[in-house]
């Protein structure tokens, strides 16, 4: 199939492009390069530099596609708290624009990157897809609003929708900004020989899933209308930030006490873990063990640190 990936030059997007190409699909990437980099994509991949808010500028260049995978977003939770209007414009209006573009491109399916942040600080973990959504951040609220637009567009017929609510994604090519960025923050600090900070007491828990598994989820049963639905994509395993730090410190060979603690950040969820039974019924399960994924991620940060001028 021919697939348009918005945000395809970013962290998750570039791995999705790799997975699509491995599956024999034809890929077109749209990215405004505000966070992504052309260098993470193979030169042979058709690339269009454009903004999701201005589809009139790029729809004709894309041509027809079978599927749209929509990953382009404003991903920084803290930034959204201080600039909610920007988050709304990118994550809500941008999603509406992509839905309109999907129709214009003749797509039969759209896959939308949502987030565990839609659930808010719900204490009844692990959270299933039918759990109450009560976001505590603008980012979570806008992702949840985007889901409603995706489902509404699907209800009008002709466009199947798969919504993936992602746990905390980590892996190579990640940058130190974004909702799941604690792995990147730790790995970058270790690669540079710095002492990182933990916000709060470090006992907050997250469900960490590798970017390779997330890329597989976005390409799983691609083009199957019966796959339409909302799915949690996680490991169903809770890991404290302190434990995460201990794993990475051991991988890097540094003293686990080489970390500093600071105030908790506004909008941070205390405990987040996803129930993944529906994804398993869909035929998807994560494969990458946390410690192995962290090792590969740390090695990538070390290689980037050595390559930096």
Which residue intervals of the chain are DSSP H helices? 11-22, 59-62, 77-82, 84-88, 94-104, 138-155, 182-192, 211-219, 241-252, 277-281, 290-307
Rounded Cα distance, 309 and 304, in Å:
10
103 has which bridge partners?
A: none
Cβ-contact 274, 126 below 8 angstroms? yes
Three-state DSSP at 196 gives: coil
Q: Strands 205-206, 197-199: parallel, antiparallel or unpaired by DSSP? A: unpaired
Query: Is 139 among the residues known to form the active site?
Result: yes
Rounded Cα distance, 240 and 302, in Å:
24
Structure tokens at 166: 């992602």
Rounded Cα distance, 108 and 113, in Å:
17
Phi, psi angle pair for 17, to nearest 5°? -60, -45
CA 211 centroid distance within chain: 8
Rounded Cα distance, 95 and 99, in Å:
6
Three-state DSSP at 306 gives: helix
Which candidate in 79, 119, 138, 139 is catalytic?
Answer: 139
- Three-class HEC string of 148-195: HHHHHHHHCCCCEEEEEEECEEECCCCCCCCCCCHHHHHHHHHHHCCC
Residues noted as catalytic: 139
């Amino acid at each position: 199939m021919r697939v348009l990936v918005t945000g395809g030059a970013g962290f998750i997007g570039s791995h999705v492009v790799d997975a699509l190409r491995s599956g024999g699909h034809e890929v077109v990437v749209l990215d405004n390069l505000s966070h992504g980099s052309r260098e993470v994509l193979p030169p042979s991949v058709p690339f269009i530099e454009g903004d999701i808010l201005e589809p009139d500028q790029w729809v004709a260049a894309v041509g027809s596609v079978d599927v749209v995978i929509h990953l382009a977003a404003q991903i920084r939770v803290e930034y959204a708290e201080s600039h909610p209007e920007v988050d709304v414009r990118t994550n809500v209006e941008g999603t509406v624009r992509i839905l309109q573009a999907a129709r214009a491109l003749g797509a039969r399916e759209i896959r939308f990157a949502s987030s565990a942040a839609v659930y808010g600080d719900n204490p009844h973990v692990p959270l299933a897809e039918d759990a109450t959504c009560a976001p505590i951040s603008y980012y979570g609220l806008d992702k949840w609003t985007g889901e409603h637009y995706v489902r509404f567009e699907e209800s009008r017929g002709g466009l199947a929708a798969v919504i993936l609510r992602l746990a905390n994604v980590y892996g190579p090519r990640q940058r130190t900004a974004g909702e799941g960025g604690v792995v990147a923050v730790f790995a970058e600090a270790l690669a540079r020989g710095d002492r990182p900070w933990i916000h709060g007491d470090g006992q907050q828990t997250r469900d960490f899933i590798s970017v390779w598994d997330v890329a597989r989820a976005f390409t799983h049963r691609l083009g199957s209308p019966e796959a339409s639905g909302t799915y949690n994509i996680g490991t169903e395993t809770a890991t404290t930030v302190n434990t995460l730090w201990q794993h990475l410190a051991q991988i890097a060979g540094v003293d686990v006490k080489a970390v500093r603690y600071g105030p908790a950040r506004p909008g941070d969820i205390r405990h987040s873990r996803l129930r993944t039974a529906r994804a398993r019924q869909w035929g998807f399960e994560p494969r990458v063990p946390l410690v192995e994924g962290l090792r590969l991620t740390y090695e990538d940060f070390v290689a980037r640190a050595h390559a930096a001028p």
